[in-house]
Amino acid sequence: MTPGEIKCGMCGLPIHPSESGVRHFGTFVAHSESRCIDLLRGRLEDQQASIGELTEQIARTERNRDMWKGQCERQAEAMGEMRKVLRSFAREAAEWVEMGDTRPVVESGNITVGKLRRAAALVEGA
């Protein structure tokens, strides 16, 4: 509402200065009843559209939450499995003193004894 604008005493919406059909009561000014109904109906439709948009946004947010929750659970399971495997390799690596930290454990991979020892420290700390 802009300064100097009058509010309708019936519907509470602003009355434009050039609007016709305005009724003057002793203590307030109002649109005609049909104008109030039309304005309120338009306002109601706008509010219903906003509610529909918010409902869709809530549903989308809930789907995203469920998707990420499932993703986190799957990653936690994978990390648990990886920890089990790393623990067994890391225990063995702790005993491989004569191999040195740079010697590969598997010929085809980039897994060295040093990496297994560092993984053991991380896994045991977690």
- Whether residue 69 lies inside any domain: the answer is yes
- Whether residue 1 lies inside any domain: the answer is no
pTM of the model: 0.49
Count structural domains, the chain.
1
Per-residue pLDDT of the chain (126 residues; tens, 9 = 90+): 566 678 888 888 888 877 777 888 888 888 888 888 888 899 999 999 999 999 999 999 999 999 999 999 988 888 888 777 777 766 666 666 655 556 666 665 677 767 777 777 776 665
Domain that holds residue 90: 31-125
Smallest Cα–Cα separation from 125: which of 78, 82, 87?
87
Task: Give 116-125's long-range contacts (Cβ < 8 A, gap of 24+).
Answer: 116/86, 116/89, 116/90, 116/92, 117/90, 117/93, 119/86, 119/89, 119/90, 120/86, 120/87, 120/89, 120/90, 120/91, 120/93, 120/94, 123/83, 123/86, 123/87, 123/90, 124/87, 124/90
Contact 36, 10 (CB under 8 A): yes
